[in-house]
Amino acid sequence: MRLYLIRHGQSFVNLKDWNQGNLDTALTPKGIRQAEALAEFLPAELPTVDAIYASTMRRAAETAEIVAAAYAMPVIADPRLREVGNNRLDQTPFPNEELPGSYADYWASERPFSSVTPATNGGETFMHFRIRVGQFIEEAATRHQGETVLAVCHGGVVECAFDHIFNVGPWRRCEVWDHNTAVTCFEHVEIPGRETWRLHYHNRIPHLVDFEGEDDQALHGTPLVNGDDA
């Protein structure tokens, strides 16, 4: 199986430099254009796809629908592909600079996977996050042997995939960066006597070449309204 993990297009919370977590916002106009650019590019490079999965969160689902239309395929919603649930109890996100103090169990810990109890702020633990993402990956590898799978998800999910596939251990995290609509490709390979994974590429964005130099400042400061047209 080849597994292509795709980060969602730009969302309104991306503009605020906040950690989105469970906050369910839509794509910006630029995010829609990013997804459309990917939908135009991807079938030329990857003409055959056997399944398209997506997070149930709006920014990923909208991205997936645009990509899936290029293949005339349905999207399979899977909540295991949702971003880590690290928001406040009222589901509002933490600005990135507040995470080490507000989510110290994980962002300020050298052992972020040591706890399996709820975080002190009520959020999801990194261990539970990695487990659910790992379950999706292993299930997909079994169900789609020899096939090609797209999974439209989130930056944190891509990091969890690296954690799970490369088995970094309970005391470490893989921290990788993905641009919006970037593509990461893993391959699950069955070798006699064992199974292994290969990384073909990470954060691939040739479809975004025309977006270089765009200024998003005009959208900054737009209020969030019920997670809709923020």
Mean pLDDT, all residues of the chain: 82
Using an 8 Å Cβ cutoff, are 73 and 67 in contact? Answer: no
pLDDT recorded at residue 13: 76
pLDDT recorded at residue 228: 38
pLDDT digits (tens, 9 = 90+) for 117-173: 555 555 677 778 888 999 999 999 999 999 999 999 999 999 999 989 988 766 667
Tell me, rounded to whole angstroms, the distance of Cα 12 from its chain centroid: 16
- Asked if the model's pLDDT at residue 43 lies above 80, the reply is yes
The residue whose two tokens read 């469970």 is: 22
Q: What is the DSSP string of 88-135?
A: -TTSPPEEGGGHHHHTTTTTT-S-TTS--SPPTTS---HHHHHHHHHH
Using an 8 Å Cβ cutoff, are 30 and 211 in contact? Answer: yes
Domain 2-145+156-208 class, CATH top level: alpha beta
pLDDT recorded at residue 220: 41
Rounded to 5°, angle at Cα 76 from 73 and 78: 160
Percent of the chain topping pLDDT 70: 72
**What is the C-alpha to C-alpha distance for residues 226 and 79, in angstroms, rounded to an integer?**
20
Percent of the chain topping pLDDT 90: 54
The domain locations on the chain are 2-145+156-208
pLDDT digits (tens, 9 = 90+) for 160-219: 999 899 887 666 677 888 999 999 999 999 888 888 999 999 999 999 999 877 755 444
pLDDT recorded at residue 216: 59
**What's the pLDDT band for 16 if we cut at 50, 70, 90?**
low
Terminus-to-terminus CA distance in the chain, angstroms? 38
